Amino acid sequence: MSVLKGFVAWNTDSEIKYIDTIGSSIKNTSHTPEQALTGYIESIPHRADWKGMNREQVEQAARAKLLALRAIGHGQG
């Protein structure tokens, strides 16, 4: 078995950092940031393997980000 040099396993913190980029990391999309984040949240129950990530913390971060987007009116198509 080989190990990738510099590889760091995905963890709860890195997933939360990824959530912070949803909707802003891809510029050429027909989805608003709110729509993209809503899709992410809707997919959470279907994710089979969390690889040691804390699902509750990830979901809480995603929902908090969605509320923040809605509060500033971001994602209005």
pLDDT for position 33: 87
- Classify residue 1: in a domain, yes or no: no
- Classify residue 71: in a domain, yes or no: yes
Total domains in the fold of the chain: 1
* pLDDT digits (tens), the chain, 77 positions: 344 555 556 899 999 999 998 867 666 667 888 999 999 999 999 999 888 899 999 999 999 999 998 898 755 54
Domain that holds residue 36: 9-24+31-46+53-77
Q: What is the DSSP letter of 74?
A: T
- Classify residue 38: in a domain, yes or no: yes
- Classify residue 40: in a domain, yes or no: yes
- Classify residue 62: in a domain, yes or no: yes
Q: What is the DSSP letter of 25?
A: S
Question: What pTM was computed for the model?
Answer: 0.77
- Classify residue 4: in a domain, yes or no: no
pLDDT for position 2: 44
pLDDT for position 31: 80
Which run of H or of E encompasses 18?
A: helix 12-21
